[in-house]
Amino acid sequence: MVIVTDAGGFIASWLVRLLLEKGYTVKGTLRDPDVAKHSHLRALKGAAERLILSKPTSLTTGLCLAIDGCNGVFHAASPVTDDQ
């Protein structure tokens, strides 16, 4: 099992797709767990069987709990700010 942070992002979505195609079980973290917003991930081949999406409760503890049990981490999340 592997984890992809910010799985709903553009690059991370492609990474999730590739990992599912290769047969991996993928945990994906999301900032916004809105089901409709991430329907493209749930529609991927293998997603019904091997994709787990969740929103960490906190950046530290929640992310550590999400990573627990994974053999690989793909950290694709980046900070979002309006500050130029």
Give the chain's residues under pLDDT 70: 80-81, 84
Question: What is the model's pLDDT at position 34?
Answer: 81
Query: From residue 30, how far is each of 20, 41, 52, 58, 84 by CA, in Å?
Result: 17, 11, 11, 12, 24
Amino acid at 7: A
Domains and CATH numbers, the chain: 2-74 (3.40.50)
pTM across the whole model: 0.86
Question: What is the model's pLDDT at position 84?
Answer: 66
**CB-count burial class (<10 Å; 0-12, 13-18, 19+) for 25:** middle
